[in-house]
Structure 1
Amino acid sequence: MTALALGAVFLLTGAPAPVRAEADTVHVSHAIAMHGEPKYDATFEHFDYVNPDAPKGGSMRLGVQGTFDSFNPFIIRGNPFSAIGVETLTVSSADEPFTRYGLIAERIAWPEDRSWVTFTLRPEARWHDGTPITVEDVIFSFETLKAEGAPFYRFYYASIVAAENVGDRAVKFTFAEAGNRELPLIAGEIPILSKAYWQDRDFTSTTLEPPLASGPYKITQFEAGRFVVTERVADYWGKDLAVNQGINNFDQLRYEYFRDDTVIRQALKAGVLDYREENQAKAWALDYDVPAVREGLLKKELIPHMNPTGMQAFAYNTRRPPFQDPKVREALAYAFDFEWTNRALFFGQYTRTESYFSNSELASTGLPTEAELAILEPFRGSLPERVFTQAYRPPQTDGSGWPRDNLKTAFALLEEAGWEVRDMKLVNVETGQPMRFEILLVSPAFERVVLPFVRNLGRLGIEVSVRLVDQSQYINRIRDFDFDMIIAVWGQSESPGNEQRDFWGSKAADLPGSRNYTGVSTPVVDELIEMIIQAPDRESLVTRTRALDRVLLWGFYVIPNWHIRFDRILYWDKFDRPEVTPPRGTSISYWWYDPDEVARLNQRIFEQETQRLERDDPKRMGMIGAWAAGLSAVGLLAFYFVLKRRRSR
């Protein structure tokens, strides 16, 4: 059956349409789900969590910590700016575990066994220069990313063996295996690059030339390392698609780069920035006790989410001694006093992480279920017995800051591993070499967390140094696995799959640039990853993921840190957002600039500052009339800060 005929079936039914083609059942649809059916049918007009009537206009100014020196985010070189306007064949919804809806692709076709997928491109899809996005662009993108991109792409696309032009604006991806339900969705995630633009350029090099893209925003101004301005494309080809309704509402987004989070916070409070997602508990608790927040001009909100929080942890590099010994790794975890840290440093805001898939149904809890045991039993001889008989919990303390009992336990484990104390130093019994290692940091904010941990390790006789390096050096060292211990983060989705190969797979363990930071390399983990990838339904995916979680936890590859079940956001009260927040949390993609809110904000600022002056310094009130006459509504915010500076003199 031709692609046109398949499309006719799809258009008539408005749902995935099974048809017969060479004795295989082929589904044709506007969307594809990892398991089950898409939430939104072919007639949907917008996602439930957006406001389709959101006005377009205005701007938002955002702060970014660090620097950038490239607009090529697809390679391991440089510090890239990532929001370059590149699109994909499909996009995800934010209120389903894993479903992809057509973006550049108008139609998706796949067989029952998911051994291949075909995407038919929209004829209206265009690059910013007005030329059409073609099948050749798609094939070029896949082949280039897999051959020359960062190692992640080689792992993520490892099972996609071919991309071919099958006519009628259709591209077919063929997979190395059948039954991998995620592969058609992964193919839809491939960033689509312009072949005409890139074919005469070195894709493996950094560049400060904004590449040709196709998205709703394009880079219009920048200064390397300082700022980037992106502006909404007025004639964006996809603006009328259902998946784009109610999003991309700002005319301009400005990204200001800062070396330090402290400066970002000051810029926000001064009105230089509009929005921030706070990531430090101390700052959230103490840094925003300012008039603008107290008076409701600068909003400070906790927004709950149900997004998997993954794993943040002190990560051992098990490629290096002494971390090759799991007993040593287990012992050192007893030196981290989370309870004291959370109380004294984090103001009780965090929850201890006890899973690589925290804050989700994928996390293992309690003892293994019968279904989990059925998966784990064939590997019993290669796993610690505790995987089968105990529920994993990281070490607990009384929160006093002096974990005496935990340190005794740690020392007993270290003695079992062949270490003893000589002259106040922990040394290897056989070699006499002292245990020493370095914790590599990129953010000074973590020093206050790490130093108490280091102090407890010192009580065991372990010599630990803390090194703070700049972003460029940090990235290079991590890519080369040139570290002893780092604070690592592995984000997880609601539908884990091929990316787990890059996180924990043996092939990734010694591949520079992979995200297997700890060097996990065991056949059991490899096989469990493949079982997850081949999971035929949601229930089996959850069970297999929990089994992997248990094996990783009892491998002691990390010392789990903490997570929070809220988004901590601050923003000046000149924006609106939809009433519905999706499970994954809020996103400024759904927000919009409200001129009425801006006018009210400026009026409130003016009135409140006037009241302060009347109360504190009536003589200065005579100045206000002359000053205010020359101010527009937009300028009142600046006026507020001028007056504040004058009062402080």
Structure 2
Amino acid sequence: MRRLSRRAIRSTAFAVALGLAGQTGFAEPRHGIAMYGDPALPPDFVSLPYANPDAPKGGQIVTAEVGSFDSLNPFIRKGSTPWQLRFFLGESFMGRSLDEPFSLYGVLAESVETGPNREWVEFTLRQGAEFSDGSPVTIEDVMWSYETLGTVGHPRYLGFWAKVASMEQTGERSVRFTFTEEDRELALLAGLRPILKKAQWDGVDFAESTTEVVPITSAPYVIADYDPGRFVSLRRNPDYWGADVPFRVGTNNLDEVRLEFFGDETAAFEAFKVGEVNSNREFNVARWESQYNFPAVQDGDVVLSILPHERPSGMTGFVMNTRRDQFADWRVRDAMIHAFNFEFINEAMTGSAQPRITSYWSNSPLGMSHGPAEGRVAEFLAPFAADLTPDALEGYALPVSDGSERNRAGTAAALAQMEAAGWTVQNGVMANAAGTPFTFEILLPQGSSENQAIIDMYTESLARIGVTPTVAVVDSAQFAERTDAFDFDMTYYRRGVSLSPGNEQYVYYGSEAADTPGGSNLMGVKSPAVDAMIGRLLTSESQDDFVAAVKALDRTLTAGRYVIPIYQWNISRLAHAKELRFPEEIPIFGDWPGWQPDVWWYAE
């Protein structure tokens, strides 16, 4: 397998795709669009560079999912839906290449056109585009989908719609969106909204649908069968209209994608070992090194693949809800981070094989530096100096323990910060001046034995500073309901970020999103500096300013001490049946939605 070096990835991703081509827009129909400059692939490209146009069709992939589901509509807030469905069912005007930071190519759209400054974008619908029931995709369907998703859909769609000044049909197969503000990413986001069949939802409450309605879409797969909480079977549509669209050539090769659901990770792994599941993504390096020697691996029936990438680490760990009194004070959050004995936990969980996440964009050229802010980063943050958490400008880094179980230095630092915030140990219990004990609840989703093991070690460390939290383990539906309502003190948190961050950052960290139920701003951050840095990265006209804005955002969030980071995955570990194959060309995003199962195939 050919592997891209980090140097090659970095030069490809940033010197070419992020490098500005000296243009701000174009006023003629094009086959694709990039955040900056031109997309890498020419108008006559045959297939994506990491797809195999000669891949055979057939076979199946079966994955194990932990938890349950009670909805098949991934486009609304209500219910718990298999996370993969929005990628399988959400056919849109354009599709995203995983080999460029942010470039889109036509799928439902045969062309895209923008104003000189991307103040508007226009898409022309491809002739012959059809829904899975054989009916044509129309501009009426398009406009209904955008308005419905933007008003009663999942919160991820609301922010974009709020910035649309007008939507108008400009031809039999074309529609134009005009925007309310300067934001060059909006033209790309407009191309990524799912297009649904309007007639299916006549007389049906779209926002309240569960498993009684299976969405009809124009995507390559359809939901063929399901049993709530047990499995979902997606079948390749043999009459899929877009098989010859270049973006789709060599993709969607498997006849069936099946999602099997299990109560916990142990049951899911056992199902893989006995062949009920034929592909498994492993996040625990200790388990990868010690438990993947079962007979199917020894016999060669299961292949172990290690795949590189240079995606930012994102943030994985345990988020503190600043809406709660316990975590409103940054010094308390800092104490919680000092009490978390990462080096000891990492040794116990991974044999110290996994590096720690050091910031939201660590492992990438967009990650913050750990010394004092300099240059454009310092200039961008200077107006907000009075509001920034200490060390944001001076330089912040996570504490490092000596690896021993007692973590004396970390414990002492935690006690000092709690005292500074008005909490002291009284008769063995951390309490305030009124004698009220400091305690909180840690909310975890059922089935995650790894997270529960980490939290077990963490609660032992907290006991050393007189803090005894409660741990609540709930099923996936309850977990989604409570996190959507921000009904937690501390909970497991995973937020992926990209090489081309954009408007989604407002959803993740923007002040307005902090009070939007169902939103992604779980920590409840309301920071003028965060809002301003997101605004800057969206309006930057040079690569240098864009990178500086992201670094400044990364610095502000990390120094805010909202999340207790754990370890990152700079490679992906996939175990799969030998019949499941993938191309030698690995995109810069590596194992990411759009790669497995999209470009995989099955060969006896």
The match for 1:185 is: 188
Equivalent in 196, 204, 208 of residue 207 of structure 2: 204
Check whether the contact 1:152–1:513 (CA below 8 A) recurs between aligned residues: no
Question: For structure 1, which segment, 379-388 or 334-343, has the greater mean C-alpha deviation from structure 2 after superposition?
Answer: 379-388
Check whether the contact 1:438–1:467 (CA below 8 A) recurs between aligned residues: yes
Q: TM (normalized to structure 1)?
A: 0.86
Question: For structure 1, which segment, 299-308 or 394-403, has the greater mean C-alpha deviation from structure 2 after superposition?
Answer: 299-308
The match for 2:590 is: 585
Check whether the contact 1:134–1:169 (CA below 8 A) recurs between aligned residues: yes
Tell me the CA shift for residue 44 of structure 1: 0.6
Describe the shift of the 1:18–1:455 C-alpha distance in structure 2 as closer, same or farther (beyond 3 A): closer
The match for 2:107 is: 103
Equivalent residue runs for 1:560-579 within 5 Å = 560-579=565-584
Q: Which amino acid aligns with 2:113?
A: A
The match for 1:543 is: 548
Q: Which amino acid aligns with 1:194?
A: K
In structure 1, distance between residues paired with 2:542 and 2:64? 41
Q: Which amino acid aligns with 2:258?
A: R
Tell me the CA shift for residue 177 of structure 1: 0.8
SS in structure 2 of the partner of residue 360 of structure 1: coil
Check whether the contact 1:479–1:512 (CA below 8 A) recurs between aligned residues: yes
The match for 1:621 is: none
SS in structure 2 of the partner of residue 256 of structure 1: strand
Q: TM (normalized to structure 2)?
A: 0.92
Check whether the contact 1:440–1:466 (CA below 8 A) recurs between aligned residues: yes
In structure 1, distance between residues paired with 2:128 and 2:407? 64
The match for 1:112 is: 116
The match for 1:330 is: 334
The match for 2:10 is: none
Tell me the CA shift for residue 68 of structure 1: 1.7
Equivalent in 81, 89, 94 of residue 93 of structure 2: 89
Mark the runs of 5 or more structure 1 residues left unpaired by the alignment: 1-16, 596-649
Does 2:469 correspond to 1:480?
no
The match for 1:370 is: 375
Q: Which amino acid aligns with 2:54?
A: D
Equivalent in 359, 364, 370 of residue 360 of structure 1: 364
Q: Deviations over 1:135-178 (max 9, x none)?
A: 11111111001111122221243312322111131100111113
Provide the alpha-carbon RMSD of the alignment: 1.8
Check whether the contact 1:163–1:172 (CA below 8 A) recurs between aligned residues: yes
- The structure with more radius of gyration: 1
The match for 2:443 is: 440
Q: Which amino acid aligns with 1:570?
A: A
Check whether the contact 1:33–1:100 (CA below 8 A) recurs between aligned residues: yes
Equivalent in 506, 511, 519 of residue 511 of structure 2: 506
Q: How many residues align?
A: 572
In structure 2, distance between residues paired with 1:203 and 1:384? 42
Q: Which amino acid aligns with 2:600?
A: W
In structure 2, distance between residues paired with 1:488 and 1:49? 31
The match for 2:393 is: 388
SS in structure 1 of the partner of residue 385 of structure 2: helix
The match for 1:35 is: 36
The match for 1:618 is: none
The match for 1:50 is: 51
Q: Which amino acid aligns with 1:266?
A: E
Check whether the contact 1:18–1:25 (CA below 8 A) recurs between aligned residues: no
Q: Which amino acid aligns with 2:51?
A: V
Tell me the CA shift for residue 25 of structure 1: 6.0
Check whether the contact 1:118–1:173 (CA below 8 A) recurs between aligned residues: yes
Q: Which amino acid aligns with 1:117?
A: V
Q: Deviations over 1:239-278 (max 9, x none)?
A: 0011111111111222211121211111111111111111
Equivalent in 518, 527, 530 of residue 522 of structure 1: 527
Equivalent in 449, 457, 466 of residue 462 of structure 2: 457
Check whether the contact 1:127–1:212 (CA below 8 A) recurs between aligned residues: yes
Tell me the CA shift for residue 220 of structure 1: 1.4
Structure holding more helix per residue: 1
Tell me the CA shift for residue 480 of structure 1: 0.7
Q: Which amino acid aligns with 1:536?
A: E
The match for 1:230 is: 234
Q: Which amino acid aligns with 1:153?
A: Y
Q: Which amino acid aligns with 2:603?
A: D
Check whether the contact 2:90–2:193 (CA below 8 A) recurs between aligned residues: no
Does 2:471 correspond to 1:466?
yes
More RCO (CA 8 Å, sep 6+):
2
The match for 2:132 is: 128
The match for 1:176 is: 180
In structure 2, distance between residues paired with 1:497 and 1:18? 20
In structure 2, distance between residues paired with 1:272 and 1:258? 12
In structure 1, distance between residues paired with 2:165 and 2:507? 18
